[in-house]
């Protein structure tokens, strides 16, 4: 376990709160310690109130904060004395505890304090660190886990049985700490959950965490080696992933994204002779409750899983707790011999978090097996975590998901103009978006957003199209909405000057590539959970062509006919296909300020008059076209297919 402390960097963080931020980030930088908002840190200090008085204060990580990126504002100041008083109560339901924690907060603008605030307050050290270290969780998830922990650490750590975080855990700690602590005690292990370290300085607490976890790692290296996964390759039919996604979405009751990891480790785990058994023994820690299913017999397993939870709910829920918001029965993790590790979620972020967590869980399970047998907590503890009162409160407060949550849109010609605006419109509605363009700009348009995948591709190449669709499936699991926007508009040439080469180039981009796209995406759109939708970006030149644009006008007219035929053929698959015909959209790359000024002057108009030269005297923008395009994929157009809608402010030749 590498110690990341750096004296030079640490020197830039002056004061106990700044030091707390620094070492918290060091913990968060190591995924073997902390994953996606897990773990917790705190420091005891003072808060100067409005009267100039110093109040003893616990600064604890705020709920929802991530140790990897935590800042000063993410540490919530709560009255230390209030935390200690709460710990002396005989009983405190978690919902009431959350209310009391909020009332004890000294800064009303701060996030909600961690539910472990009382526990941190009880530990008689200034700095407290808590992680879900893989090595600790591995050892404690075995039959002889407690004995092994005591063998490794002796009286240097306090060992507590698993209790769900909250008031009951704080009470247990209040009783156990005085009874078990010795002058040598530098940490505390909570079985099946994680480890705490503490000290008088941020460095001391951090160093102790690294040292304690390192010793557990060394123990595993000596006693639980697993063979590295090498020379294992995926042989998946990626189109079949769309059908799997439809089954998962049907189980959930709403569209879900899938993300695949076909690494050697994932494939080796999926092909493990005991995978059907070891994958069903529960998560490494209840904080990481993830439903795991194997693909074979998928439908029956989902049904059985749903029944098991309903039955457990009926046996164990008390009238005072009803009604619970029952979670959907769809799996969030699937292990498959061909796909490897498949994770499901309503958003791209959810699928990545599940992938990260289960990638660590696979290693924990295999090491636990090598250590005598992996065993997680029982059904009751997992149920209590998944249906915890505080989690129920979060579910009830959560707003309705966005219109396209869990769905995937693919936009061609997405690096600029109408295509770029379409990407934004779909993202705004909650879709995961695959943006395709021949320009390299498409890769970095939205930085590191998890719901955006930019792909460079020449759509005149069928091989490039198939490769692009495989990337789409690997990242998001399927396709729901397709926007055919890519096209070229060559310089004006009359027919007698139009070369065969230029004619074929325009047809290849504007027509032939779209035929290939439609053909290759058909099975994906057919498998879309809410059925596929296609929007074709046509042109005013279809109903009202002009001179000098024979190749462009003909290609767009042919594309329109192709879309109409597809609407007829694919209606039986519940795939709807509609077209928009924009005109005079001037905020695109070809309309530079100079070109606009020249065209306006040619007609004796100002630039603004030229932009609004239509029946309604309204400027049509890329965003206008994009918003209509996205809306045509929504519920408003659910019973419309084969429609052609002009978006041009009213053109007298079209009307």
Q: Which residues contact 517 (CB under 8 A, 6 or more apart)?
A: 412, 459, 465, 482, 484
Helices 298-316 + 379-386 axis angle, to 10 = 80
What is the signed CA dihedral for 280, 284, 288, 294, rounded to 10 degrees?
Answer: -20
The tokens for 490 are 């060559």
Cα dihedral across residues 422, 425, 431, 432: positive or negative: positive
d(CA 363, CA 263): 13
- Tell me whether residue 290 is exposed, middle or buried, using C-beta atoms within 10 angstroms of its C-beta: 0 to 12, 13 to 18, 19 or more: middle
Which residues, in sequence order, are CB contacts of 134 under 8 Å at separation 6+? 32, 33, 284, 360, 363, 364
Please report the pLDDT score of residue 229 as a whole number: 72
What span, in angstroms and rounded, lies between the C-alpha atoms of 544 and 563?
18
CA gap 428, 432 in Å, rounded: 10
pLDDT of residue 572: 97
CA distance linking residue 543 with residue 535, whole number of Å:
17
Contact present, 482 and 410 (Cβ < 8 Å): yes
Question: CA-to-CA distance for 42 and 24, rounded, in angstroms?
Answer: 9
Residues 259 and 355 sit within 8 Å (Cβ to Cβ): yes
**8 A C-beta contact, residue 472 and residue 399:** no
Q: Report the C-alpha dihedral over residues 62, 65, 69, 74, rounded to 10 degrees.
A: -30
SS (H, E, C) 237-275: CCCHHHHHHHHHHHHHCCCCEEEEECCHHHHHHHCCCCH
Distance of alpha carbon 103 from alpha carbon 151, whole angstroms: 42
Between CA 276 and CA 281, with CA 278 as vertex, the angle to 5 degrees is 110
User: Tokens at residue 600, please?
Assistant: 């306006």
- Give the C-alpha separation, 605 to 334, whole Å: 62
Among positive and negative, which fits the CA dihedral 14, 19, 23, 26?
negative
pLDDT of residue 583: 94
Kindly name the residue from 206, 219, 387, 552 that is annotated as catalytic: 552
Residue showing tokens 């596929």: 532
Long-range contacts of 596-603 (CB under 8 A, 24+ apart): none
* DSSP state, residue 518: H
The answer to whether 339 and 293 are in contact (CB under 8 A) is: no
Interaxial angle between packed helices 298-316 and 240-252, expressed in degrees from 0 to 180 and rounded to the nearest 10: 20
- pLDDT, averaged per 10 consecutive residues of the chain (655 residues), comes to 94 95 96 87 94 94 91 96 93 89 94 92 96 95 94 95 88 89 94 94 97 97 84 76 93 94 90 88 73 45 38 42 58 88 93 92 93 82 61 64 96 96 98 97 91 97 96 97 94 89 95 98 97 97 92 96 98 98 89 88 93 96 98 97 97 93
**pLDDT value, residue 227:** 80
Kindly provide the b/e burial profile for residues 85-112, where b requires at least 16 CB atoms within 10 angstroms of the residue's own CB: ebbeeeebebeebbebbeebbbeeebbe
Q: Are 333 and 309 in contact (CB under 8 A)?
A: no
Residue 601 tokens read as 């002057």
For the chain, what is the total number of helices (H) and then of strands (E)?
24, 18
CA 491, distance to chain mean position in Å, is 43
Cα atoms in the 13 Å half-sphere on the side-chain side of 324: 22
Q: What is the number of other CB atoms lying within 10 angstroms of the CB of residue 601?
A: 12
Q: Quick one: pLDDT at residue 382?
A: 62
Can 552 be counted among the known catalytic residues? yes
Q: Element (H or E) spanning 78, and its range?
A: strand 75-79
As a residue count, the chain comes to: 655
Q: How far is CA 360 from the centre of its chain?
A: 17
Strand, helix or coil for residue 340: strand
Exposure string for 621-652, b = 16+ CB within 10 A, e = fewer: bbbbbbbbbbebbeeebeeebeeebbbbbebe
- In this predicted structure, what is the pLDDT of residue 324? 45
Q: What integer pLDDT is reported at residue 288 of this predicted model? A: 64
Task: Tell me which residue of 135, 131, 145 sits closest to 26, measured CA to CA.
Answer: 131
CA distance 308 to 303: 9
């Amino acid at each position: 376990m590498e110690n990341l402390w750096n004296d030079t960097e640490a020197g830039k963080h002056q004061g106990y709160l700044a030091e707390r931020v620094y070492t918290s980030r060091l913990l968060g930088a190591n995924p073997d310690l902390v994953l996606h908002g897990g773990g917790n840190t705190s420091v005891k200090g003072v808060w100067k109130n409005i009267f100039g008085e110093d109040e003893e204060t616990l600064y604890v990580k705020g709920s929802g904060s991530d140790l990897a990126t935590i800042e000063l504002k993410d540490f919530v100041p709560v009255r230390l004395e209030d935390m200690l008083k709460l710990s002396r109560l005989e009983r405190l339901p978690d919902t009431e505890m959350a209310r009391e924690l909020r009332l004890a907060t000294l800064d009303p603008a701060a996030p909600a304090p961690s539910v472990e605030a009382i526990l941190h307050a009880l530990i008689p050290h200034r700095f407290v660190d808590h992680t879900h270290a893989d090595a600790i969780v591995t050892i404690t998830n075995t039959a002889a886990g407690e004995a092994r922990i005591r063998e490794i650490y002796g009286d240097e750590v306090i060992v507590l049985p698993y209790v769900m975080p909250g008031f009951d855990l704080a009470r247990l700690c209040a009783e156990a700490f005085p009874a078990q602590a010795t002058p040598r005690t530098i940490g505390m292990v909570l079985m099946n959950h994680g480890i705490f370290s503490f000290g008088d300085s941020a460095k001391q607490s951090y160093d102790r965490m690294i040292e304690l976890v390192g010793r557990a790692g060394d123990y595993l290296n000596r006693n639980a080696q697993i063979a590295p996964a090498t020379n294992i390759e995926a042989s998946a039919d990626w189109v079949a992933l769309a059908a799997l996604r439809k089954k998962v979405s049907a189980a959930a009751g709403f569209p879900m994204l899938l993300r695949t990891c076909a690494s050697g480790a994932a494939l080796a785990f999926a092909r493990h002779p005991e995978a059907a058994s070891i994958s069903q023994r529960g998560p490494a820690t209840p904080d990481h409750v993830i439903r795991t299913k194997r693909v074979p017999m998928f439908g029956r397993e989902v049904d059985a899983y749903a029944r098991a939870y309903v039955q457990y709910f009926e046996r164990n829920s008390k009238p005072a707790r009803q009604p619970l918001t029952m979670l959907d029965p769809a799996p969030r993790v699937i292990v498959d011999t061909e796909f490897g590790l498949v994770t499901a979620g309503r958003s791209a972020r959810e699928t990545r978090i599940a992938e990260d967590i289960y990638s660590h869980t696979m290693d924990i399970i295999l090491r636990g097996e090598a250590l005598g047998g992996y065993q997680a907590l029982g059904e009751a503890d997992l149920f209590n975590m998944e249906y915890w009162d505080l989690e129920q409160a979060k579910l009830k407060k959560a707003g309705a998901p966005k219109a396209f949550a869990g769905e995937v849109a693919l936009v061609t010609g997405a690096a600029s103009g109408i295509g770029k605006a379409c990407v934004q419109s779909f993202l705004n509605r909650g879709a995961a978006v695959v943006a395709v363009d021949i320009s390299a700009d498409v890769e970095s348009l939205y930085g590191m957003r998890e719901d955006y995948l930019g792909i460079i591709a020449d759509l005149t190449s069928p091989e490039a199209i198939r490769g692009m669709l495989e990337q789409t499936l690997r990242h998001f699991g399927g396709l729901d909405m397709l926007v055919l926007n890519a096209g070229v508009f060559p310089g004006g040439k009359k027919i007698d000057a139009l070369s065969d080469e230029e004619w074929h180039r325009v047809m290849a981009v504007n027509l032939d590539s779209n035929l290939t796209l439609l053909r290759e995406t058909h099975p994906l759109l057919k498998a879309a959970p809410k059925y596929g939708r296609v929007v074709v970006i046509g042109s005013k030149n279809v109903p009202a062509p002009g001179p000098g644009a024979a190749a462009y006008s003909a290609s767009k007219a042919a594309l329109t006919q192709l879309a109409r035929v597809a609407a007829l053929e694919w209606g039986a698959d519940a795939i709807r296909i509609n077209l928009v015909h924009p005109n005079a959209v001037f905020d695109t790359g070809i309309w530079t300020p100079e070109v606009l000024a020249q065209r306006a002057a040619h007609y004796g108009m100002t630039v603004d008059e030229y932009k609004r030269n239509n029946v309604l005297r309204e400027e049509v923008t890329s965003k206008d076209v994009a918003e209509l395009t996205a809306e045509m994929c929504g519920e408003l157009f659910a019973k419309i297919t084969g429609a052609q809608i002009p978006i041009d402010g009213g053109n007298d030749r079209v009307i």
